[in-house]
């Protein structure tokens, strides 16, 4: 098929957001009698699921301290639940298990989940938490835990399978996906974008959706958008010259034991476990202290990864944004993959939580894993229309779980304004409409 010279809608990026937008936009156009999926072109420089979506742990949770994030996640969970088979979605639930410093934050989350009808249970107090956890895992032994939030919805999905599921849904609506096609610039008509310039040719267009995950800083520059922003703090003080983007490296890996090892006492597949605690963490190898600071891990049994898969807190990349080596990405990167230190910490943390993982570090899979995420100034997403006709989906690395964002962006592409996206506009920085910040050790909670 010839390379297209024009398309009413060009979506850049074949990850969770680009493909979800493509599929839902095709449905919107059809429902409104304004066209079909044939009016939509997705271009990707590498291939389907070649970015962060293809390496994500795949956890789907609602547990956010920020009300706007929780409401957005509830909408995304509905999309996951709409077709679990196509999206390879496992609705096993999710548990946030925390020490006292996070108790108040998590209590608020629970109350607000009740208010929006998101099913969860909240257990408080060290003894009750231990009893609750041992009713599920007889070997539970994590220390300093005083609250457990058990979300009955959510869980996880298999990363690549779900993205391919979305791609085939989009293609079945007539969307064309072109891979091996890199966007290198934009043609402009005044402020608006009139063409997407690629290494295979120029595509005239009416509307562009940018869904390039960690590469968003590059496309942002190509659109001549500001490299730094002014932010109005909660006390009204303006902070000028704050970098728009920064990178964090996500550290994840797999303990290559039988995933069935993590079944619950009654033989069921368990919820995703997330533990944040200030209990000292000791090595499972020699008992030495790994950290006495707050630490956190998450894990789940996963047949796709063939073991217990999960991660820990990311670390900030200090290299200037324009010099960060994004490519090759993910496991192919020589720089941003986990090493022995992470394996030691994460496996010891597993053993801290559950006795069944003690002495299992020899099963750590020594394969490259982890990858970069691109974060905004406040570490929350920016979903907005820039340059008059460019929809930016910059999820600040929150986003595999956000399968529903594409549905909302699709509605905005045809002229609607979606209330759920309003708290994520770019203007919030200058206006000081910032999201509340939690006590979690993770930059995305």
CB of 161 to ligand FAD, least distance (A): 14
Task: Identify which of residues 50 and 148 has a Cβ nearer to ligand FAD in the complex.
Answer: 50
Torsions phi, psi for 418 (to 5 deg)? -95, 120
CB of 281 to ligand FAD, least distance (A): 21
Q: Where are the alpha helices (DSSP H) in 247-354?
A: 340-353
CB of 76 to ligand FAD, least distance (A): 9
CB of 420 to ligand FAD, least distance (A): 16
CB of 204 to ligand FAD, least distance (A): 17
Task: Identify which of residues 234 and 318 has a Cβ nearer to ligand FAD in the complex.
Answer: 318
Task: Identify which of residues 129 and 386 has a Cβ nearer to ligand FAD in the complex.
Answer: 386
Cα 378 to chain centroid, rounded: 15
CB of 325 to ligand FAD, least distance (A): 14
Provide the 8-state DSSP code for 421. G
* 115 CB-contact burial (10 Å; exposed 0-12 / middle 13-18 / buried 19+): exposed
Provide the 8-state DSSP code for 354. B
Task: Identify which of residues 286 and 340 has a Cβ nearer to ligand FAD in the complex.
Answer: 340
CA-closest candidate to residue 247, choices 333, 342, 319, 330:
319
Burial 312-339 (b: 16+ CB within 10 A, else e): bbbeebeeebeebebeebbeebeebbbe
Q: Which helix (H) or strand (E) holds 164?
A: helix 159-172
Q: Write out the two tokens for 21.
A: 């937008």
DSSP character string of 136-162 = H-TTB--SSEEEEEEESS-EEE-HHHH
Task: Identify which of residues 256 and 371 has a Cβ nearer to ligand FAD in the complex.
Answer: 371
* 288 CB-contact burial (10 Å; exposed 0-12 / middle 13-18 / buried 19+): exposed
Task: Identify which of residues 284 and 395 has a Cβ nearer to ligand FAD in the complex.
Answer: 395
Task: Identify which of residues 137 and 383 has a Cβ nearer to ligand FAD in the complex.
Answer: 383
Q: How far is CA 34 from CA 31, 41, 414, in A?
A: 8, 16, 9
Task: Identify which of residues 56 and 281 has a Cβ nearer to ligand FAD in the complex.
Answer: 56
Yes or no: say if 277 and 100 are a contact pair by the CB < 8 Å rule. no
CB of 276 to ligand FAD, least distance (A): 16
CB of 369 to ligand FAD, least distance (A): 7
**Interacting residues with ligand FAD (CB under 6 A):** 12-18, 43-46, 50-53, 55-59, 182-183, 211-215, 250, 252, 370-371, 373, 393, 395, 397-401
């Amino acid at each position: 098929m010839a390379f297209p010279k024009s398309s009413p809608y060009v979506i850049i990026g074949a990850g969770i957001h680009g493909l979800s937008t493509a599929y839902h936009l095709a449905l919107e156009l059809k429902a409104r009698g304004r066209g079909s999926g044939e009016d939509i072109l997705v271009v990707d420089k590498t291939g389907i699921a070649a970015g962060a979506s293809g390496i994500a742990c795949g956890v789907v949770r609602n547990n956010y301290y920020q009300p706007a994030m929780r409401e957005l996640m509830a909408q995304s969970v509905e999309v996951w639940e709409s077709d679990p088979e196509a999206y390879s979605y496992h609705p096993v639930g999710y548990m946030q298990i925390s020490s006292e410093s996070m108790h108040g934050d998590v209590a608020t989350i629970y109350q607000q989940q009740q208010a929006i009808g998101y099913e969860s249970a909240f257990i408080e107090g060290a003894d009750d938490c231990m009893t609750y956890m041992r009713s599920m895992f007889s070997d539970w032994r994590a220390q300093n835990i005083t609250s457990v939030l058990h979300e009955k919805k959510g869980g996880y999905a298999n990363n690549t399978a779900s993205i391919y599921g979305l791609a085939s849904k989009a293609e079945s609506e007539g969307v064309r996906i072109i891979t091996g096609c890199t966007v290198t610039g934009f043609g402009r008509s005044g402020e608006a974008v009139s063409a997407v310039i690629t290494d295979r040719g120029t595509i005239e267009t009416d509307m562009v959706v940018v869904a390039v995950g960690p590469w968003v800083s590059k496309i942002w520059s190509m659109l001549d958008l500001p490299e730094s922003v002014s932010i109005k703090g909660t006390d009204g003080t303006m902070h000028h010259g704050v970098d728009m983007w920064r990178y964090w490296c996500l550290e994840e890996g797999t303990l290559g034991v039988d995933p069935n090892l993590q079944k619950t006492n009654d033989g069921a597949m368990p919820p995703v476990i997330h533990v944040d605690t200030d209990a000292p963490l000791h090595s499972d190898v020699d008992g030495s202290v790994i950290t006495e600071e707050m630490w956190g891990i998450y894990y789940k049994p996963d047949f796709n990864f063939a073991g217990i898969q999960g991660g820990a807190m990311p670390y900030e990349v200090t290299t200037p944004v324009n010099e960060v080596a994004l490519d090759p990405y993910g496991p192919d990167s020589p720089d941003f993959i986990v090493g022995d230190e992470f394996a030691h910490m994460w496996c010891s943390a597993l053993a801290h939580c559950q006795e069944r993982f003690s002495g299992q570090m020899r099963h750590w899979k020594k394969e490259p894993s982890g990858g970069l995420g691109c974060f905004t100034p406040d570490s929350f997403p920016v979903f907005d229309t820039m340059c008059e006709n460019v929809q930016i989906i910059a999820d600040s690395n929150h986003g595999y779980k956000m399968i529903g964002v594409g549905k909302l962006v699709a509605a905005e592409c045809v002229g609607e304004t979606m209330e759920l996206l309003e708290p994520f506009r770019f203007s919030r920085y200058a206006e000081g409409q910032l999201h509340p910040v939690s006590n979690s050790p993770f930059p995305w909670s």
